A and B are shown apart, each in its own frame.
Chain A
Amino acid sequence: MNVLKVSRWTIAAFVLPCLLLYVGLVFAPIIVSFYNATLNWNGIGVAKHVGLGNFHRMFTNDSVFWPSVRRTFMLAGFSMLVQLPIALFVAILISRYVRKANFLVSSYFMPVILSVAVIGQLWKTIYNPASQGGMINQILIKLGLDSWTHAWLSEPKVAIYAIIFIGLWQYLGYHILIQFTGIQNIPADIYEAAKIDGAEGLTADRYITLPMIVPIFKISVVLSFIGSLQSFDLIMVTTAGGPAHATDVLASHMYNISILSQKYGYGSAIACFLVVVCLVATVIINFLFNRLDRRYN
């Protein structure tokens, strides 16, 4: 139970500046988007009300939409189920084996700071066909595995995985950093006490690190989910959603529809879908972590 009893004015002074700015510039535009989603509008000329027509079309008659949704969730899934556990594992290892971890953790973080434009170019030199100097394919050929070579970014079935892998690599250090700071924040005396009880190494991690890191891990989960839903730059730099929409995700589909196809109302409908997905996801994530919290405490 919160203990500070304060006047209404104090609450207002603490909360309102933040809330108003946020409501005015994030929330209100989203409401406008919901309105725009009911229009047939190219963004410039005359708008026509179509009710829920855009949503109907989106759910039933858009061959790109559902595959984009699926790929967006694939991105989120890989990030949460592969990247985060690895990041946690590395963070635990670092905290156990390295005393001055600054340099290591900071270095792992570097790819996040670099512009996506650079990351995209770099990975193209890795993924290109062997004839264009692509590194992976050249290595495969040297190993005699010619049949394993692919045009990684232009084969419809492979390309999305190639892009997902870039994302996993790029943001690994980001999550290592977040989780490492979380582990650093666990008071050392807890481990000391556990040691006396005979819990060390893996056992200590199982019974101390994991439960204590839950709140920080939640931040990682939320950030990875946000990142996956908003992933756009990387797709644009590597394949621009091609070939023939094979690597489109929700964000790139939204861009294609509202900017390139100039269906602003329809694009807003996709944006609204994105917002609703985010909302549901936030609720689910919070619910799961609250249960997890309760189980441990």
Chain B
Amino acid sequence: MNSTGKKVVGTAMVGFLAVGMAACGSKNDNDNAAPSSSAASTASASASAPASSDSGSKEKVTITFQNIYPDPTDPKYNMLHKIVKQYETDHPNVHIELDSLNTDQQKQKLKTQAASNEVPDITIVNPSAQMKPYVDAGLFAPLNEMIEQNGLKDTFQSGILDYYTFDGNVYALPDGNNIALLYYNKALFKQAGIDAPPTTFEDLVADVKKLKEKGIQPMAIGEKDTWTGSFLFMNVLLRTNGGPGFLQDIVDGKKTFEDPAFTGAVDAFEQLVQAGAFQEGATSFDYNAGENLFKTGKAAMYFMGSWATGGIEVSDANKDGNVGVFKFPTVGGKGDPNQFMLAPGSAFAVSKNSKHLPETLDFLNYFMLNYPKEAFAVKGAVGVAQKVDGDFKAAGYSDMAMEVLAMFKDVQGGDISFDNTMNPATSQAHLSSIQNLFVAKKDAAAVAKEHQQAYEDNKE
């Protein structure tokens, strides 16, 4: 097929092949679908091969590592490449092929690959509900035995692996564990005559109005990426519900979206919007454009996951330690500020059908063992899912970073995001419904109904 001289003939042959293959392909994709659920239960057997690294002159092995760190100017990229290079030096027969993609594209690619049973050796998935379809289809290898090796399991913070565990099997190892909080610009607060960050939602709304009067943009948000608004809304709901578990109660049939906790959250959220908290045209601001408003000192507050700390700490807004953080306040006297929106990070999973399963497991074990140390070194250890040894202060982490780290110690449970709890179709309906609140005033009951309808339509 590679003779360039006879291109026509060559292409014609490929054409013939393609027709034949198309037929096979469609047949095969049915076969895939049927037995997959049973495959999950037998999956653990294949992963039992020892993953010890008795590297000698063995056959050449290529492991494809699909990841979402493509940016050479991002510290995580360098970290990843450093660990990979070290491993390749130690294991000359192993080559790690890094398929680095932007996040959206990686999600789409993995979906297409999963549908045709071509999952790369290592890939990246999101926790809980988002990774469940892959686990159900039996595509991932259980990592239970692998994490016991070299004490990897004990490096993880307690409880974090639960988000990646199904039927007692761990299927993925997270790169992060974050919480939601509010960043604020101290100088702008002072300008508006606000002495201390608000501790109740009512104060927060009042502060928004004060800032607004002084011509200061109270809050920034990148609502084009709909999850941002949902994340904030869910934190309100965590308060109005008086604690975590609202969505779980829905799933368990104990509550509906018409529950007062939910409508109360919608009302509170709309109060914030109507007070003019968010910038004009928020729904066409993507995540970065929204965050940039805060980073450049053009907005007084910013609600986001603690992963934003690294970027904010080196921004203009944080000159002379000008940025502080505070916990999401109580709403209508309800809720506990020490309960947070939790954001267990994207996680590394291993393909059950990997041609080099033992080597892949061995590499991932090595990778995760070195992850916290390297992350600490590039000042990226705020919000890592593993325990980090080291003196943050001495290593030059900023005051704000130290405040955030202190906040982690106060965490007493919380909820994970909507799309990590509900199925994708219901989540999309929710995201769009919340986005709508930014451009239209809606009755809380109608919003609740919209949610309930979407949930029932898409229930499995």
- Chain A directly contacts chain B within the complex, with at least one CB pair under 8 Å: yes
| Segment at the B interface, from A140-148, A172-180, A234-242 | A234-242
Contacting residues, chain A, for B15 (C-beta < 8 A)? 16-17, 19-24
**Contact flags A120-159 to B (C-beta < 8 A → 1, else 0):** 0000100111011010000000000000000111111001
Contact residue among A124, A154, A263 (Cβ-Cβ distance under 8 Å from B439):
A154
Establish whether residues B26 and A44, one from each chain, have CB atoms under 8 Å apart when the complex forms: no
Among the 9-residue stretches B17-25, B57-65, B231-239, B410-418, the one with 4 or more Cβ atoms under 8 Å from chain A is B17-25
Q: How far is the CB of A10 from chain B (nearest CB, A)?
A: 13
Q: A44-B134, A45-B36 are in contact. Are A20 and B428 (CB under 8 A)?
A: no
Of B12, B108, B139, chain A has the most CB atoms within 10 Å of the CB of: B12
Interfacial chain A residues near B283, Cβ < 8 Å: 153-154, 239, 242-243
Chain A residue nearest to B111 (CB atoms) is A43
| Nearest-neighbor residue (CB-CB) of A241 within chain B | B432
Complex CA distance for A261 and B427, rounded to whole angstroms: 8
Instruction: List, in ascending order, chain B residues with CB within 8 A of A240's CB.
Output: 224-226
Interface centre among A24, A132, A242 (most CB of B within 10 A): A242
A44 touches B424 (CB 8 A): no
Interchain nearest-CB distance for B298 vs A (Å) = 9
For the complex, count residues of A whose C-beta is within 8 A of B: 51
Whether B438 sits at the interface, judged by CB under 8 Å, is yes
Q: A45-B36, A46-B37, A262-B425 in contact; A154/B18 too (CB < 8 A)?
A: no
Judge whether A156 and B18 touch: CB under 8 Å.
no
Residues of A within 8 A of B423 (CB): 262
Q: Determine the interface band of chain B, counting residues with CB < 8 A from chain A.
A: 35 or more
Asked whether, in the complex, the Cβ of A239 is within 8 Å of the Cβ of B284, the reply is yes
Q: Which residues of B contact A245 (CB under 8 A)?
A: 432
Q: Is the CB of A32 within 8 A of B14?
A: no
Q: Is B435 an interface residue (CB 8 A)?
A: yes
CA gap between A24 and B133 in the complex, in Å: 30
In the complex with contacts A35-B26, A44-B139, A45-B137, A21-B425 CB distance below 8 A: no
A residues lining the B interface (CB < 8 Å): 13, 16-17, 19-25, 28-29, 31-32, 35, 41-47, 124, 127-129, 131-132, 134, 151-156, 159, 238-240, 242-246, 256, 259-264
Enumerate chain B interface residues (CB-CB to A < 8 A). Answer: 8-9, 11-12, 14-19, 21-23, 25-26, 29-30, 33-34, 36-37, 107-108, 111, 114-115, 133-134, 136-137, 139, 217, 223-226, 279-284, 289, 293, 423-425, 427-428, 432-433, 435-436, 438-440
